[in-house]
């Protein structure tokens, strides 16, 4: 258990240093004030693998996610689960490159590989049901607001190393994404507010491509740790069955 805890903290700190999001720092500072008897607040972070469902020649892309969450008690062991993933890259890799109109560039990258990478601010809105205060299932909707988006051209050089070129494609990707999400998790302690490890799948329903000849629907598998912030001092944090 201690080893898992250390690993989870390391993942969160790495994510914090990489993402450098002001929202997360505010969450750490005011986490205790955001927790109450009816509300659990904390950080969530981990790894995800994403796909673009309609690109047949593509393969999954690995990334990581970081954000904060709220579990709002509705009645007994039922909660409304929401929050924001402020760092969540989705996309796919393994596609063939395409010409951009520069003859020299097109010749160099003709045998290269293409990676599509899109950053979203995702907001899951889920029904969260706990069982024996150890396991929980959740499911609902997930909405996304697009941030940056790139096509990244890769080419393995003959003498080792790798060439790369990043093309901004925000004008080709719609601003909003939406779909269905469902998951399950295990709570490390049998109490109301406890660190948990879970898996969740997102299935995009929206074609996010603006291009007429290209259809793109996002799909992501999340493996994430949830860590309550400021909940340790709550005296009423007792088990419920």
pLDDT given at position 18: 45
At 25 the three-state DSSP class reads helix
**113-131 and 162-168 strand pairing:** unpaired
pLDDT given at position 133: 85
Question: Residue 157 above 70 pLDDT?
Answer: no
At 178 the three-state DSSP class reads strand
State the DSSP code for 153.
Answer: E
d(CA 144, CA 85) in angstroms, rounded, equals: 9
Is residue 241 one of the residues assigned to a domain?
no
Is residue 240 one of the residues assigned to a domain?
no
Is residue 6 one of the residues assigned to a domain?
yes
Furthest-apart CA pair in the chain: how many Å? 68
pLDDT given at position 20: 42
Q: What is the CATH number of the domain that holds 22?
A: 2.40.160.20
83 and 42 in contact (C-beta within 8 Å)?
Answer: no
Name residue 150's beta-bridge partners.
Answer: 117, 168
Structure tokens at 235: 């005296």
Which domain does 84 fall in, by range? Answer: 2-228
Taking the CA atoms of the chain, what radius of gyration do you get in angstroms? Answer: 20
189 and 231 in contact (C-beta within 8 Å)?
Answer: no
pLDDT given at position 13: 46
Number of domains in the chain: 1
Question: Using one digit for the tens of pLDDT, what is the confidence trace for 41-86?
Answer: 899 999 999 999 888 789 999 999 999 999 999 998 999 999 999 8
CA dihedral 172, 174, 180, 181 (to 10 degrees): 70
Q: What is the pTM of this model?
A: 0.80
Is residue 239 one of the residues assigned to a domain?
no
Neighbours of 117 (CB within 10 A): 19
Which residues, other chains included, contact 52 with Cβ-Cβ below 8 Å and sequence gap of 6+?
58, 91, 92, 116, 216, 217, 218, 219
Is residue 161 one of the residues assigned to a domain?
yes
* CA neighbor of 40 nearest in space, from 182, 201, 226: 226
d(CA 29, CA 72) in angstroms, rounded, equals: 20
pLDDT band for position 234 (cuts 50, 70, 90): very low
175 and 213 in contact (C-beta within 8 Å)?
Answer: no
Question: Using one digit for the tens of pLDDT, what is the confidence trace for 174-223?
Answer: 999 999 999 999 999 888 888 999 999 999 999 999 998 899 999 999 99
Counting beta carbons within 10 angstroms of the beta carbon of residue 134, is it exposed (0 to 12), middle (13 to 18) or buried (19 or more)? middle
Structure tokens at 227: 């860590």
d(CA 77, CA 24) in angstroms, rounded, equals: 27
pLDDT given at position 161: 55
Is residue 237 one of the residues assigned to a domain?
no
């Amino acid at each position: 258990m201690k080893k898992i805890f250390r690993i989870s903290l390391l993942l969160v700190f790495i994510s914090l240093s990489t993402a450098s999001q002001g929202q997360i720092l505010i969450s750490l500072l005011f986490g205790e004030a955001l927790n109450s008897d009816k509300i659990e607040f904390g950080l969530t972070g981990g790894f995800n693998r994403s796909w673009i469902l309609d690109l047949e020649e593509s393969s999954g892309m690995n990334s990581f996610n970081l954000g904060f969450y709220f579990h709002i008690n509705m009645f007994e062991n039922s909660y409304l689960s929401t929050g924001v993933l402020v760092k969540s890259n989705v996309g796919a890799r393994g596609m063939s490159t395409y010409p951009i109109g520069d003859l020299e560039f097109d010749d160099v990258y003709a045998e290269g590989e293409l990676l599509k990478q899109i950053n979203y601010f995702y907001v899951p809105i889920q029904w969260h049901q706990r069982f024996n205060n150890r396991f929980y299932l959740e499911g609902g909707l997930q909405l996304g607001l697009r941030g940056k988006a790139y096509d990244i051209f890769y080419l393995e050089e003959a003498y080792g190393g790798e060439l790369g070129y990043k093309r901004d494609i925000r004008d080709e990707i719609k601003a909003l994404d939406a779909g269905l999400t469902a998951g399950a998790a295990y709570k490390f302690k049998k109490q109301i507010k406890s660190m948990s490890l879970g898996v969740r799948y997102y299935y995009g329903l929206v074609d996010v491509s603006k291009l007429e000849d290209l259809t793109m629907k996002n799909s992501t598998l999340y493996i994430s740790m949830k860590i309550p912030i400021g909940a340790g001092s709550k005296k009423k944090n007792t088990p419920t069955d």
